[in-house]
Every structure is written in structure tokens, then in C-alpha cells.
Structure 1
Amino acid sequence: MTHTQPHQWMVEQLGLGRSLCLILDSENEREVRQVLLKTSSFEHYQSVYRETTVADLADAGPFMFLIDNLRNKSINDLFNAPQRNWGWLASIGKGDLPVLVRHWRDRLMVGIRPLQAIYRFHDNRVMSRAIEHLPQQAHPEYLGPAVSVCYWQGQRWAVANNPAPAQYPVPDDPLWLHVPAPELQWMDILQANAHRYLLTKHTLAYVQLAEHHDPQVWLGTQLALARAWGWLAPEHLEFLLIQSLKAPGYSLATQWPARTGESPMEHFERVVQMVKFWQEEGPL
């Protein structure tokens, strides 16, 4: 990893005959995205989430744009506000935009259950930590066809070069899914994924909840409860959120909290049996 400025990196990559690509978090940069969509030809951009299992989130998902104008005002505005964590830049071979899109589509859901469905590859903070923690030999499988990437790593611009850019199959147990994340960032990502999951899979109940509670505040409370109980496995989180949505007044019954000396697994199994009994699905 080296340090440089994005304009310098872009000029160098263009001089080497490569194409430049902007990976943009369009959920938080919708205005920039719309400007770029209006000024880009159809073959110069793609929505990553289209044609995937999360296609219904395509409008809020990342977009990739080929950059052929270094004086583009919208892009220069992004460079002047890296703290917005809007995404990152990649250099690719000519005509490789569809290859780069396919690379990350293949890596969206690997090893992640429905509640934690989306790997936020487009977040420069996620990219930065992956590059920092992955061994050099794992970079090609992670970066795929990207020859070089330029990203804001929190304090300065950084560049990482791919030693062997190409198309790679997804490993059975990708190392990048084991990269440690700062606690605050991990909880933010978990809450964002939980929000998308409920909005997509339990739309009506979630919309009804919003009539009485701020969804983000409610979600934060439920996730804090899950953390306190040690219920951070995907199936535990999914169960807790769905049952909380079904609960009268969105408040869990007094029998839900853990008992003294009860392990997280014992606690979870007891509550599952309790809920099944209430729903006449099994013995208490």
C-alpha cells in the first residue's frame, strides 16, 4: 500500500492504458449518481445489485461508472470530501467493466446468511481494512480484475496494486469475511443490513412499526439486546427481530430475558420452545 492523490493516480493509470472506474455508494450519494447517470452513456455504467438476489435494492446499491473526464466536477467534489466515505476508485483493462461488476456480484452473499446479506465491498472503509489485513497472496482473489485501487483510508489517500489481476472463483471460506472490523463500524453495518432485510422480507410489518417508532432507534435497541444476550448468530438475530415485530406493542414478553446461569444457546432454545408453545407448534 502506498500513498498518493487521486488525480495523480488517475493520470498514471491512464498513461498505462487502463480504464478508470468509480465505485459509488449511491444510497448516500444519490445526487452525484443522478448527475453521472445523465452524463454517462449506457455502456459506461452498471448497477451492481441488478441481476442478483438483492435486485430489489438496486436503486440504493452501489453503481460503477467509467471515468473518461478528469475534470468532471461531480467526481472532483467527491475527492474534496473523502470523509463522506462515498466509495473508491479502480483501474481496469479496456472493456473490463462487466467483468469487475460480475466479480463483486459473485462476492455479495458468500458465507453470509439472509440477515447479514450484503458484503459492503463499495465502502472504502471495508476496502481499506481488507487491504490492511489480507496477506498479499489473497489480494488477487479479493480485487479480481482491478489492476489498482485508490481509496480514502481514514487519514489519507492510499493505493494498492493487484499483483495478478484476473477473474477468480470465490473461495469456499473467503479470508476477507474474517477481517476484523471496528466495533462501531461493525454495528453500523449490521444495523444497515438488518434494516434492508426487514424492509425487503417483512415490508408490511416494518412499515407498520414505523407508524409508532423510529425504525433505526428500534433496530438499535433490538441489536443492543441481541448483543447483551449473545444472540449474534444470523438465525438468532433473525428470530429476535421477527418475533419483536410480531410482539404486542413491539415489546417482548417478560419471560424473554436470560435467566441466571443460562448460556446464550440454552437461552435461545428455551425462548424458541416458548414461542412455539404460544403459537401451538410444540410443547413447552
Structure 2
Amino acid sequence: MTDSFPRHWMADQQRSGHSLCLILDSENERDIRQLLLNSSQFEQYVSVYEGTDIADLADAGPFIFTLDQPGDGRIDQLLKHPQRDWGWLASLQKGDLPKLIKHWHERLLIGMRPHQALYRFHDNRVLARALEQLSAETYPPYLGPAVSVCYWDGADWKTANNPAPDSYPVPSDPLWLRTPVHPSQANEILRINAHRYLLAEHVKAYADLAELHDPDVWLRDRLSQADAWGWHEPQQLEFLLVQSLQAPAYTLAAHWQVRAGETPAEHFERVYVLRGVMP
């Protein structure tokens, strides 16, 4: 797959006097991240989640790297394989990286405690979906200090130019949050939020689990089970996760299985009542 489009965009932006940066999905591109970390100066990268309420997710969260040259060979594999959905590119006015970090820090969490969701701004699919729904005049509060962005929309490379790059307060009703969420993105957001919850409220039990199981695999399995049972409410998910952590050998007893003709609500009510009666 050709990388000429993003390379030309990068060259045009640099000729216009702008800085180039890479917004990288760190969790899925650890080898590239390590390459960039090993070959960048300290001031040339930022772990976006560091210093926020979700700092515990920093290692799996996005990093932003500044790039000196449009032909930077360190990102060859990213540009040649955009279908890996590794993130996107942005250009900034010189010295505006701190403004960009602050901009996304203010937009990371959606909703009110204790059921806040995490906005995956670094996912090119999320960015593409938002920009598709927004009109150009409504880009500024979303893109903030970014002058221009270049991203893969799932089928082709696209760019979007910000008509008024600057710092903006978060609107009371952000237009980009009205964008329909793809099911795969909803599942990823749910997994991340469940992980955050267990780290915050049940860290010892979660750490003990890690001695026997891969926590990520275990968590995905629990969430798949909740989906199969039709348990989608926060109370139901929390109950399943906590009880699974506390179950002998992390295996739920036989009475947890759904019965014939039982609705999700009836199923939940039955096992919720029985939790204090049966081992």
C-alpha cells in the first residue's frame, strides 16, 4: 500500500512552517513505540495519560511523538500499513505540543462519575467518524491547536484542515460525542473502563488473578459472558466481574448458568439473591 499521500501531506505541512507529530495507539504498536522512544529526545514525546486520572493506563495509552522530517523512516511500517489502525498524524504551530496535550486531557473522559467512559481520540477510526459528522466550521473545538490532520478512514487516506487552530473550552454538549460508535469501539471502551474499575476498586484481587491468568484475556472472557447473558447495565457488569474475581479458582458455580426461558433481568436477580446463600 502506497505511503505517498501522507508523505506529501507531511512535506506540505513542514514547508508551511508547521511541526509534525504522530498520535500513536501505543497498546497495539509497542515495537514502533519502543523504536521511537529509543531514538527521540525527551522533549519529543509525551505519554498522554501520564498525569491524569487514568495514569494507571499510561503504558497501554496513546503517545504523541514529534517528527523532524516528512521522510522519517521510523514510521515506514505505519504508513505502509494503515489498516493496522495505529493512530493518525497532525501538524501544529511551532511550540504548540503542550497545548495539544492539554486539549486532549480535557476531552479524555466522557460523562459523570462513577460511570465515565474513555474517549479514544487516538484511534483513527474514532477521528474519521467524528470528522465525517462535523462540518468544517465546527472543527476547531474538536481539533483544538492542530492545524491539519492526516488519517486513514478505513478505505483511503484523508486530511482535514482546521480553520481556526487554537485552545478552546470543552462545549457543554460536544458535537463529536453525538457520532454513532462502532460496535468494535464500544467493546474496547467497555474493556478499558472495566480494567480501570478493577484497578481502582479491587487491585489486590486483580493482581492475584494475574499470577494465574492473563488479566486481559480473563477480562475479555468475562465481558463476552456478560454480553451472552444480556447483562449490559453497569450494576450487572460490576457484579459479574467482582463475583468472578472472588469465585474459587475464578470459576463461577453451576447455578450461575442461565435457565431455559429466563430473561436477562430474571437471571441477574436470581444469582444476585443467591450470592449470599450459596457458595
TM-score by length of 1: 0.82
Give, in whole Å, the separation in 2 of the partners of 1:27 and 1:112: 26
Q: Is the 8 A contact 2:13 2:91 kept in 1?
A: yes
Q: For residues 103-147 of structure 1, what are the alpha-carbon distances to aligned partners after superposition, in whole Å with 9 as ceiling and x for unaligned?
A: 111111121656764321111121112212334454222211112
Identity fraction in percent? 57
Q: Is the 8 A contact 1:44 1:66 kept in 2?
A: yes
Moved more, 29-38 or 9-18: 29-38
1:151 corresponds to 2:151: yes
Q: For residues 47-78 of structure 1, what are the alpha-carbon distances to aligned partners after superposition, in whole Å with 9 as ceiling and x for unaligned?
A: 21111011222233211111112232112332
Q: Which residue of 2 aligns with 1:30?
A: 30
Question: In 2 relative to 1, CA 60–214 (structure 1 residues): closer, same or farther, beyond 3 Å?
Answer: closer
The amino acid that maps onto 2:82 is: P
Gaps of 5+ in 2: none
Give, in whole Å, the separation in 2 of the partners of 1:271 and 1:138: 48
Gaps of 5+ in 1: 280-284
Give, in whole Å, the separation in 1 of the partners of 2:192 and 2:201: 14
The amino acid that maps onto 2:109 is: M
C-alpha displacement at 1:183, in angstroms?
A: 2.1
Question: In 2 relative to 1, CA 75–213 (structure 1 residues): closer, same or farther, beyond 3 Å?
Answer: closer
Q: Which residue of 1 aligns with 2:140?
A: 140
C-alpha displacement at 1:213, in angstroms?
A: 4.3
Aligned partner of residue 28 in structure 2, secondary structure: coil
Alignment root-mean-square deviation, CA: 2.9
Q: Is the 8 A contact 2:110 2:116 kept in 1?
A: no
1:71 corresponds to 2:71: yes
The amino acid that maps onto 1:239 is: F
The amino acid that maps onto 2:54 is: V
TM-score by length of 2: 0.83
1:183 corresponds to 2:174: no
The amino acid that maps onto 1:76 is: D
Give, in whole Å, the separation in 2 of the partners of 1:14 and 1:117: 35
Give, in whole Å, the separation in 1 of the partners of 2:11 and 2:154: 23
Q: Which residue of 2 aligns with 1:96?
A: 96
Aligned partner of residue 5 in structure 1, secondary structure: helix
Give, in whole Å, the separation in 2 of the partners of 1:255 and 1:24: 41
Q: Which residue of 2 aligns with 1:282?
A: none
Question: In 2 relative to 1, CA 182–95 (structure 1 residues): closer, same or farther, beyond 3 Å?
Answer: same
Moved more, 220-229 or 69-78: 220-229
How many pairs are equivalent? Answer: 274
Give, in whole Å, the separation in 1 of the partners of 2:177 and 2:234: 14
Q: Which residue of 1 aligns with 2:110?
A: 110
C-alpha displacement at 1:23, in angstroms?
A: 0.7
Q: Which residue of 2 aligns with 1:242?
A: 242
Give, in whole Å, the separation in 1 of the partners of 2:24 and 2:268: 39
Q: For residues 239-260 of structure 1, what are the alpha-carbon distances to aligned partners after superposition, in whole Å with 9 as ceiling and x for unaligned?
A: 3212221123333452674785
Q: Which residue of 2 aligns with 1:222?
A: 222
